[in-house]
Amino acid sequence: MKKLEICILAAGKGSRMRSEKPKVLHEIGGRPMLNYLIDLAGSLQAHRTHVVIGNGADSVKAAFPDIDINWVLQTEQKGTGHAVQQVMPHVDPDARLLILLGDAPLVSLETVNALISTKSELSVLTVCQPDPTNYGRIIRSDDGQIAAIVEERDATPEQRQISEINTGVMCADAESLRQWIQALTTDNDQGEYILTDIVALARKSDMSVLPVMSGNSQEVQGINTLSQLASAERYFQRSMAEQLMDQGVRIVDPMRFDLRGSLAVGTDVTLDINCVIEGSVSLGDRVRIDPNVVLKDCVIGDNVHIKANTVIDGAVIGNDCQVGPFARLRPGTELRQNALIGNFVEVKKSVIGEGSKASHLTYLGDATLGDGVNIGAGTITCNYDGVNKFQTTIGDGAFIGSNTSLVAPVTVGKQATTGAGSTITKDVSDKGLALGRARQTEISNWKDKR
């Protein structure tokens, strides 16, 4: 069996996207389109992967600094055939070369395996398109082979009724492909070297050209506009949602779900509408995620309830916790079992002990809370002096009164209490009561300017 090499055509500018960003760096599911094809090449265990770059070449290369890729520069944009011409000197003549399109990133491993396993000098991936307008039509011979690929402008009225179209994805023996590529000319309306012209050259040499039809028009959809990018995004997200539902996750509305990374799940997980998953996220058993929640690079234990409109980024949440609504957990946060973080509470780089709670309107930064601590509304840790960050430590069972400012570095002892409205600048001993209020003064019969 011949070894497989892969050529990804990624030199296009994507002018119809009205963006300075190279087309293949536009994202689907939080990753550049080109990322999916590089991953596909890895899954196929390709002997070598060649990526043709042109517009924004430096940006494309910089996006994949640690991946073994043969970058091939197409300095002039003279068509798809010209792009493959640049690659052929780098390809082993005894290999089989798979050609993928950088702007059609969602083709499946199953489909590509069917293409490369077809025994033919040239295999072409096709699909039946409900509206084939502007696509090259597949003209089949009586024996089922591809006789020609006819572009829209050259097609007869009868040929335009054909719904089977060329996707641009091909697989061929490298040596044969080299000969066909060398024979291409620019004798066409575009004045370019057109890759699909190799079909006629192969047929002229009495070589087999077999179609392999995909049953899914969306997986091979090319992306040339932001509208098409949005359509591909929704197809991808629906596919991810279906995979999760097959694993037992209840997704309330799969059309309002976004996965932009990886998600590991336990049993009986429920995701309500508009959940966004970014980076690497792990959810334990019986986790409930309410609407409009963003989860990024976090680990969430069993029996956790994340309430609506909460953002969790870089946090670890233990079993039986509740968070939100309208809460924000920032990187370095750890919630231990049965902790509660309520509405409009922000926590950053802090440990919240078992059974401790901050129910509302609080900021906890660079803090360590013991077990069973109660944080009253309006409490803040004053952890930053404009230059350095300082720690606040609160012992087990402490009660922090509402509207307390804890000026770090400071320690509040076990079972200690701070009075509401206090500013605490000195350590509080175990079981102590600390008050730091200004004395209240009243002037009787006060007559103001009103």
Query: Any idea which residues carry the catalytic annotation?
Result: 360
| Nearest-angstrom CA–CA distance, 69 and 48 | 7
Instruction: Return the closest-CA partner of residue 178 out of 251, 262, 95.
Output: 95
Residue pair 427/408 in contact by the 8 Å Cβ criterion: no
Instruction: Return the closest-CA partner of residue 149 out of 122, 115, 172, 173.
Output: 122
Residue pair 261/278 in contact by the 8 Å Cβ criterion: yes
User: Rounded to the nearest 10 degrees, how much is the dihedral formed by the CA atoms of 152, 156, 157, 163?
Assistant: -50
| Nearest-angstrom CA–CA distance, 312 and 330 | 6
| Nearest-angstrom CA–CA distance, 287 and 273 | 15
| Nearest-angstrom CA–CA distance, 434 and 417 | 6
Distances (CA, A) of 273 to 246, 368, 446, 447: 18, 34, 55, 55
